[in-house]
Amino acid sequence: MEPTDDDDDRQLRRLDSVPSTDSMSTSSGSTLSSVLSSEDFRRSTSSGDITTVSNSSGEIPAVVESEATLAVRLIRSFPSIDIDGETTPVARTAARTKCVGRNNKDVSWGFTSVIGRRSEMEDAVAVGPRFLSRTCDDVGGCTASGSKSSDEISPVHFFGVYDGHGGSQVAEFCAKRMHEIIAEEWDRAIGDGNEWQRRWEAVLGSGFERTDNEILTQAVAQEMVGSTAAVVVVSRCQIITSNCGDSRAVLCRGTQTIPLTVDQKPDRPDELLRIEEAGGKVINWNGARVCGVLAMSRAIGDGYLRPWIIPVPEITFTTRSEEDECLILASDGLWDVMTNEEVGEVARHILRRLRRMDEVSIAQIAADRLRDIAFGRNSKDNISIVVVDLKPKRKKRQQRPPSTS
């Protein structure tokens, strides 16, 4: 049985011990006041202004654009991520007669990217609707392979969050260029329907590597500048995630919040072993850091820390489900102060409450609300969040004209 709004409210009240009050109001409407506790609300409205760098939403129109897409190498992690003997499952579903995301062109999104309490803005966000146009069979992993819907040209979407360090140059370059490079790599790749996962691994691996090489050869930034890269590609039937660093992506499915990435930290056992085998050291200096400097073990840029810091992504494949609510990508300005489960509960609550409303970007409302909660909880970092609503819009019911008899 699908959870009710009352169930959602009870779950959300666990986020904070102080209950919300009737007198609270927000710019997004009083119906959402229960998402923030009164304590969260006081923090977000009394701690100072949030300087907004970027704040936008969108819906993907029903159009098919010109083709663009990819080629070679990388790490395989399907159907789960195996970290030091612990397995994070990646859900799969049974074969179908129609593609799960046959209304994929109706995907909508919202994002926010703010400086927060930092003195400089080093985050960047990329949204690439229709960055590819392909059939589901061509993309791979179709749940209804051979059906009519699997042979229809449909858009493939790209979303990315980049959290820079040492400067903003690498993050900004990634936001402008990485999706273009990945599309170019796809065009170069030799496709085989039975080897679609390997093709995507090769494409994303070489895409990250090419981006890193261009930063070096074009002298985009000094060698001490770098960035995380959390990238999600959404097709009709697959959610493909590629990650370097400690930005994160999660999937809200039903009542679950499923992690699609695992933070690459220097003290993660497998990463620690890799760094030490390459002759590097992990030093505890305000947390585990590579050579006492960088608090992540993989990144784009950071040439001065090679070969210990590498631009090699970890890749996961998740088959879409009718129960999928939304995707959330964010920099650690969000994850430092909220758990995966808290983020999922807030987003799920907002989307379910407001989906019936017209002319409202509910994904944008969810992104903004998560930002406000993170800021209210005293996040010290830049905060960048992308929310992708995976549910198609419900068609309006035609009202019958009143009877004249």
Q: Is pLDDT at 168 greater than 60 in this prediction?
A: yes
The values of phi and psi at residue 88, to 5°, are -100, 115
| Nearest Cα to Cα of residue 362 among 109, 191, 74, 172 | 109
Q: Is pLDDT at 91 greater than 50 in this prediction?
A: no
Between 169 and 48, residue with greater pLDDT: 169
| Confidence bin at 403 (pLDDT 50/70/90) | low
Q: Judge contact between 287 and 296, C-beta under 8 A.
A: no
Q: Poorest-confidence range of 8-22, 117-131, 311-325?
A: 8-22
pTM: 0.80
Mean of the per-residue pLDDT values of the chain: 81
Question: Which stretch, 82-91, 136-145, 279-288, has highest mean pLDDT?
Answer: 279-288
Q: Poorest-confidence range of 83-92, 114-123, 287-296, 388-397?
A: 83-92
Q: Which fold has domain 5-263+313-389?
A: Phosphatase 2c; domain 1 (3.60.40)
The predicted model gives 257-268 an average pLDDT of 98
Between 295 and 98, residue with greater pLDDT: 295
The tokens for 360 are 């409202």
Q: Is pLDDT at 239 greater than 90 in this prediction?
A: yes
Domain boundaries along the sequence of the chain: 5-263+313-389
E strands in 77-122 = 80-83, 86-89, 108-114
User: How large is the angle between the packed helices 38-46 and 362-376, nearest 10 degrees?
Assistant: 80
The tokens for 203 are 């494409």
User: What is the rounded distance in angstroms from the CA atom of residue 44 to the CA atom of residue 40?
Assistant: 6
The predicted model gives 91-104 an average pLDDT of 66
pLDDT tens column, 140-162:
999 998 888 888 999 999 999 99
Q: How far is C-alpha 68 from the chain's CA centre?
A: 22
Q: What was the pLDDT predicted at 355?
A: 85
Q: What was the pLDDT predicted at 4?
A: 52
Q: Poorest-confidence range of 141-145, 184-188, 347-351, 396-400?
A: 396-400
| Confidence bin at 192 (pLDDT 50/70/90) | low
Q: What was the pLDDT predicted at 393?
A: 67
